[in-house]
Structure 1
Amino acid sequence: MTKKLKVVVIGTGNVAAIAIRCIQGREDMELVGVWAHRETAGHLVGTDAGLLDADQPCGVTITDNEEEIFELKPDCAICVINIRNPVVCDQVNGEWYKKFLKRGINVVSPSVANLIYPPACPDQEYIADISQTAHYGNASIYVNGQEPGFAEHLAMLAATCSNTIKTITTSEMFNYSTTQEREELTYAYGFDEPAEYVAALEPPEFQIACWGVPIRNVADKLGYKLEKITASFEKRVTEKDIEVGYGIIQAGKVAAVRLRTCGIVNGREAIVVEHINRMSQDIAPDWPMTDRVGQIRVVIEGDPNLQLDFNVGLKENPEELSYDGYVMTAMRIVNAIPYVCEAAAGIVTIHDLPLTTPSTAFRSDAVFVPHKVCKPKK
């Protein structure tokens, strides 16, 4: 049997915890170490990593010692440190990327959108720094996730059925009412705040910094140069109190948002990324709707007209939406590990790798029962 790849996980949040669970039982890799951020998860140090998202230990003890992680000489590191401030989060993950890459250790991560498609990053000095470090260590780094990441990959797949395209729109339509942590929603989107509250993603430059990446990715794949990228942010308040996963959203507070980022080609909107997120299905009925609590929808207006609805979670179990979304994100990078370890040194993207299908996918995971609830890891 081929030798298993040794994997470490940097972080202990929801995505990290799920990645730890999903590595168990695989024939191509094994978990050998987990690192916890001392300031945000120091209480987890010394505990078994398997208990973060499953019902039994996995035999790996969580540490906050960086050198212990490096001494394990892993083949790949999963870097998923989650810090609410996106700028600080990018910086912390970026520091870890370089620590591993210069030691010849491959890296996968869902955390820094600019590395999903480096040509779209406005800071090319940062891209050059990461790339040079990877080449120095003869290692590879792959960043991808649910959205950005999988969603534009899905859009490109749909476009293979097109003759001509007027507009290609990718929409994330999620109902976040089962989310357990209020701050997770208020900071980014402004949910449960007055209408005048300015959310982190509300300024156009922040939207463009995030979703300009997948828009540019699609445009380049189709062979077009964007003239500009525009952004808009709409919000709606609820007229009644709403019971949600963490408590009550009172009447008059924001309970639905619509973010729309558009790539302009030939003077018109050609590539659009939307986020239409609600805390209750009866809010903003004039916006695009789905009867599912979680869906990624790709609509292509053109020849032919196409619509692809990708549902997340079971319709009859809406409380699993958040969890299943995190599993999607985790598996975009966990499944890529064998391919990344075989890739040429440097920054690799979906354009460099084959389909990152899972190994031993039909194995039984019954012994590792997931918690199925995503709560803040305190």
Structure 2
Amino acid sequence: MHTNPTYRVVQWSTGTIGVRALRAIVEHPDLALAGVYVHGDDKVGRDAGELCGLPPVGMAATADVEDVMASGADCVLYMPNAPDVDTLVRMLSAGINVVTTCGLFHHPDSMNPVVRQRIQDACLTGGASIHSTGSSPGFITEAMPLVLASIQRRLNGLAIDEYADLSRRPSPELLFDLMGFGKPMGPFEDFRADYLEASFGPSLRLVADALGLPLDSIESSGELAAATRNVTIAAGPLSAGTVAAQRITIAGIRNGSTLIRFRATWYCATELSPAWDLLDTGWHISVDGDAPLEVDLRMPIPLEKMAEISPAYTANRAINAVPYVCSAPPRIRSTVELPSFVPALGHR
């Protein structure tokens, strides 16, 4: 017998991850689609099912915030490129819970105090909660480390390595223009490390605080490796001597040494100068404690299908968070303040 409540959910944005989330809402046994907010005139008025590759569901997409406010939603899955605090305040003040893949809310203490107070006040006014999650940061930098730390009584260090083979990603704008692959070798551009520090630093602080080992600082750095020969990747030609791999490290420092760190290694070729040890796309976690662990998480997906399938890693965690965020007392809610997410894969 189905005893769980049905939550009315609006999907906000229909980019790569948003489309995957929209489909999951429609197919979810305990969620009901309350609306779809889109960017772009070409999507306005189109049926939500059409937007995510399903049969029509009788819900037209909108670009009007008023439609969202009038939808009777319990929760908005908020997935824009960048958050709009004024819109979030309005939704929370109206009692609409928010689950977002925007990383602003991973660690409330790291937030701009003025923004944090506005959001907290809105939560209390509307009796709603907001939570940031995703695959990375989120699952791999919070949920997994906390589980692995649950069998430790001493922690000397925790290292998370993310690997992404981008050689079959047919996205020249992403790889060459935005990420800088194929450019002449030179000094690492600090803004790239700064961007990841803003995304992952709060997540590392959250875990350290939860373990009673607060960090003194966050440090970020980056390095590059060049292709040793001309290669052709899905995005186009990559010349020998140009950037073919980049590695960014975000380190949480405590008492002068690294306690917890996240390192992203993204590569378009495997023959590199200098030579790097590369793993297949996925994650490796190393726990140095009194119960040491080495954990590999691989994505067993053909590289040609990675762009199609990988959005599920982020979208699904957000979907599974909805009932827990809707049930939480009003506040910015971090991973450590919510139960572990148990997905409803059928009526319970």
TM-score, length of structure 1 as denominator length: 0.84
Task: Check conservation: 2:175, 2:235, Cα contact below 8 A.
Answer: no
Distance (whole Å) between structure 2 residues aligned to residue 156 and residue 45 of structure 1:
41
Among 146, 151, 174, which residue is 1:184 paired with? Answer: 174
Task: Check conservation: 2:29, 2:346, Cα contact below 8 A.
Answer: no
Among 89, 102, 111, which residue is 2:93 paired with? Answer: 102
Give unpaired runs (5+ residues) of structure 1.
Answer: 83-88, 364-378
Partner of 2:126: 137
Partner of 1:350: 335
Task: Check conservation: 1:188, 1:200, Cα contact below 8 A.
Answer: no
Q: For residues 334-366 of structure 1, what are the alpha-carbon distances to aligned partners after superposition, in whole Å with 9 as ceiling and x for unaligned?
A: 111111111101111211211112113599xxx
SS at match of 2:163: strand
Among 203, 209, 221, which residue is 2:198 paired with? Answer: 209
Confirm whether residue 116 of structure 1 aligns to residue 106 of structure 2.
yes
Q: For residues 42-93 of structure 1, what are the alpha-carbon distances to aligned partners after superposition, in whole Å with 9 as ceiling and x for unaligned?
A: 21112222233325333322111221222211111111112xxxxxx23x3x
Aligned-residue sequence identity (percent) comes to: 28
Confirm whether residue 300 of structure 1 aligns to residue 290 of structure 2.
no
Among 136, 139, 151, which residue is 1:147 paired with? Answer: 136
User: 4+ residue stretches of structure 1 with deviation over 4 A?
Assistant: 197-201
SS at match of 2:17: helix
Distance (whole Å) between structure 2 residues aligned to residue 250 and residue 33 of structure 1:
47
Confirm whether residue 240 of structure 1 aligns to residue 226 of structure 2.
no
**Distance 1:178-1:53 versus aligned 2 partners, 3 A rule:** farther
Aligned length: 345
Among 146, 165, 168, which residue is 1:175 paired with? Answer: 165
What is the one-letter code of the residue matched to 1:78? L
SS at match of 1:210: helix
Distance (whole Å) between structure 1 residues aligned to residue 260 and residue 230 of structure 2:
36
Task: Check conservation: 2:188, 2:223, Cα contact below 8 A.
Answer: no
**Distance 1:259-1:361 versus aligned 2 partners, 3 A rule:** farther
Give unpaired runs (5+ residues) of structure 2.
Answer: none
What is the one-letter code of the residue matched to 1:283? L
TM-score, length of structure 2 as denominator length: 0.91
Q: For residues 72-115 of structure 1, what are the alpha-carbon distances to aligned partners after superposition, in whole Å with 9 as ceiling and x for unaligned?
A: 11111111112xxxxxx23x3x333222111111111111x230
What is the one-letter code of the residue matched to 1:124? P
Aligned-pair Cα RMSD in Å: 2.3
Bigger shift: residues 246-255 or 8-17: 246-255
Partner of 2:35: 33
Partner of 1:224: 213
Distance (whole Å) between structure 1 residues aligned to residue 37 and residue 243 of structure 2:
37
Confirm whether residue 275 of structure 1 aligns to residue 258 of structure 2.
no
Partner of 1:369: none
Distance (whole Å) between structure 2 residues aligned to residue 97 and residue 242 of structure 1:
45
What is the one-letter code of the residue matched to 1:17? V
